[in-house]
A and B are shown apart, each in its own frame.
Chain A
Amino acid sequence: MNQKVCLLMLALIIALSGLEAPAAQAAGAQDYMYSYWGESVPGPSAYVPSRTIDGRTLGVGPLSGPSDLVAADRIYILDAGNNRIVMANRDWSGVKVIDSFVRDGKPDHFRNPQGIFVTGQGMIYVADTENHRVVQLDKDGSFVRTIETPVSDVLRKGFEFFPVKVAVDKANRMYVVGRGVFDGLIEFDADGKFTKFTGANRVKVDVLDYFWKSLSTKAQRERLEQFIPVEFSNLDLDAEGFIYTTTSERGSLTPIKRLNPSGIDILRREGYYSPQGDLEYTYTSNGGSSIFMDIDVNEYGVYSALDIKRGRIFTYSDDGDLLYIFGKLGKQEGTFKVPVAIERLGEDIMVLDRDLNEITLFEPTLFGQRVNAAVQLYYEGREQESAQAWEDVLRLNANYEIAYIGIGKSLLRQEKNEEAMHYFKLGMTRSYHSKAFERHRKDVLRDHFGSVLSGISVLVLLIVFYRIVKRRRKARLDAHVHGTS
């Protein structure tokens, strides 16, 4: 009897697991997240690799050390080793190649270009690194102009212009990351004239270093390492024209910055931790914090940063909440060796690998889609619908803490303060919980104000009455005592 039950159970389990297998595969096994407590916890994947694209699939011969990738009206791959730009439509058809352009009647070429940017009008800007210039081409690939080494008093002597990354805002101001430039982004006006450096990273000075430096002699001091700020590794522009930058500094708490026009960092850091990639890592020579090589911002403020150290992509909302983590280094399909560029293609994410000479395309899973939708709806002010999306997210991952905050915010808007408190507590946000609690407390006090007040007045009356009775009795007793004596 018992055996039969066991067998039946076994059969059932096998049947059920068979049913579940494809779904589990579709969810792409597991990735991880960081909880409120800063611990890595397993969670469903938000993005899974769907296909890889290399030079052969595009029919242009192998890529060689590609350095940058842009998706605008079309997809542009900067094939640095072959000194060319490979263009394709957004569905990877209609491949075209720009390997030279005509300048002043003579053919001209790129030399090891490292950065590419395409404006809304289709103007192509290439950071032509070894030629010390930025080249502007129009959408057909014909030459427009070059921006050469800037001339200014603020530049130090012997300054060499090695542009590696470039971005252009709506007012046609150009921002360039230069190799070995520590003063910040190099900013040019619409005419290609140098205007200023913007948003320099601040120098970090150790108290201990400072102490040793003050003790050492001048000769020693010159041999010591200089205190210099860290240079930027990449930049991107968001829809509002703010500049997102990444810095490849070890152990930095602010490797990602959002610069306003005056170069001040205005990134919102309202999440549990400041956006910095991995929170748990070893301190060995191979370990260390995430090193961001590229960043991509989409139209509703969600940004993804690419960690070259462990090949992970960290995505944050505009508030600085960590949304999801995916990607890894490895030798299988869908993993990276030296990931150098990241770009969104609609909701898909492309990652360019310099060493494997290929692009890996990632597609959002159901989980990833719902997270994106929830963030987007909230960004657009549709809190109610956003809360619904967050509920879907929670159905897929009940440990997804920021979903509770999303639902709580919607409840707070509907004046369901007590329920909002419950959700805010699950989302571990004290500031919002306090807001909801304050309203709830006010409601309770208002509702019970009458009864509490009448209760107190009755109590006061009783005490007064008791006092009077007591005094009377005492007086009578005294009178009695006096009377008898």
Chain B
Amino acid sequence: MSMELLKQSFYVIFHPFNGFWELKNENKGRLTLALSLLFLLAISNILNRQLAGFHVNFNRLSDLNSIEELQFVILPFVLWCVANWSLTTLMDGEGKFRDIVIATGYSLLPFILIYIPLTIISNFITLKEATFYYLMQNIAFIWFIFLLFVGTMNAHQYTAGKTVVTMLLTLVVMGIIVFLGLLFFSLVQQITNFITTIYYELIFRV
């Protein structure tokens, strides 16, 4: 069973058009697998930040916090899915939230496939050969964007042009969500501040 799922996910990244079709219409996509891939990416990202070779690793290792690193993987993923869902609901997208999460999750596989070996190899390359490292990173990124494009197109049954527009708009919506979130937190902070101030006023006077 699990072997089958693995085979399916590899089929998706090498044959995205057929693959994503099967995920949605033949019900072969698994939410758990999509989320496990996300988890694996978080792990491989942390490993890369921590263990990549000195020549390509510009992080301050003594200050690296694995939990904080999650915000570069989990947060964008959640934001993307929510923003995309909010947008496509208004733009006649056929995809359900589940479809979006599955499509996005499966698209992350190239990152995992390339990052883990790349992290190991980066310990054995010189500064001159670092170009190769950055090239591979770019390939992973382009592959991911392509898969995300096909996945989104398939999930919502859009045309190519509409998919591109939707993806760009999703980025804008992500920005709006972040802005609203910050606004909300700032307001809550001020309210709590206000209440605690009144509380202290009271207990000092009474």
A residues within 8 Å of B by Cβ?
37, 425, 430-431, 433-435, 437-438, 441
Contact = CB atoms under 8 A, between A and B. Distances in A.
Contacts of B60: 37
Contacts of A438: 126
Contacts of A435: 126
Interface string B108-128: 000000000000000010111
Contact of B127 (A37, A425, A430): A430
B55 A433 contact: yes
Nearest to B58: A430
18 contacts: A37-B60, A425-B54, A430-B54, A430-B55, A430-B127, A431-B127, A433-B54, A433-B55, A434-B55, A434-B126, A434-B127, A434-B128, A435-B126, A437-B55, A437-B126, A438-B126, A441-B124, A441-B126
Contacts of A431: 127
A211 to B, nearest CB: 25
**Interface of chain B: mostly helix, strand, loop or mixed:** loop
Interface string B43-67: 0000000000011000010000000
B55, B124, B127, B128: most-surrounded residue (chain A CB, <10 A): B127
B9 to A, nearest CB: 30
A37, A433, A437, A441: most-surrounded residue (chain B CB, <10 A): A437
Contacts, number: 18
Nearest to B56: A430
Contacts of A433: 54-55
Nearest to A425: B54
Interface in B43-93: 54-55, 60
Given A433-B54, A441-B124, 16 more contacts: A37-B60, A425-B54, A430-B54, A430-B55, A430-B127, A431-B127, A433-B55, A434-B55, A434-B126, A434-B127, A434-B128, A435-B126, A437-B55, A437-B126, A438-B126, A441-B126
A435 B54 CA distance: 13
Contacts of A434: 55, 126-128
A123 B153 CA distance: 82
A431 B127 CA distance: 7
Contacts of B126: 434-435, 437-438, 441
A441 B55 CA distance: 14
A431 B128 CA distance: 9
A438 B124 CA distance: 9
Nearest to B123: A437
Q: Which 6 A-B pairs have the closest CB atoms?
A: A434-B127, A434-B126, A438-B126, A430-B55, A434-B55, A430-B127
A433 B56 CA distance: 12
Nearest to A436: B126
B60 to A, nearest CB: 6
Contacts of B128: 434
Contacts of B54: 425, 430, 433
Interface in B101-158: 124, 126-128
B54, B55, B60, B124: most-surrounded residue (chain A CB, <10 A): B54
B120 to A, nearest CB: 15
A428 to B, nearest CB: 9
A438 B55 CA distance: 12
A438 B125 CA distance: 8
B88 to A, nearest CB: 38
Contacts of B127: 430-431, 434
Nearest to A424: B54
A37 B63 CA distance: 12
A202 B60 CA distance: 35
Interface in B21-59: 54-55
Nearest to B127: A434
A229 B124 CA distance: 47
Contacts of A37: 60
B57 to A, nearest CB: 9
Nearest to A432: B127
A37 B61 CA distance: 12
A437 B124 CA distance: 9
Contacts of B55: 430, 433-434, 437
B60, B126, B128: most-surrounded residue (chain A CB, <10 A): B126
B170 to A, nearest CB: 30
A438 B128 CA distance: 10
Contacts of B124: 441
A433, A434, A441: most-surrounded residue (chain B CB, <10 A): A434
Contacts of A430: 54-55, 127
Nearest to A433: B54
B36 to A, nearest CB: 34
A202 to B, nearest CB: 30
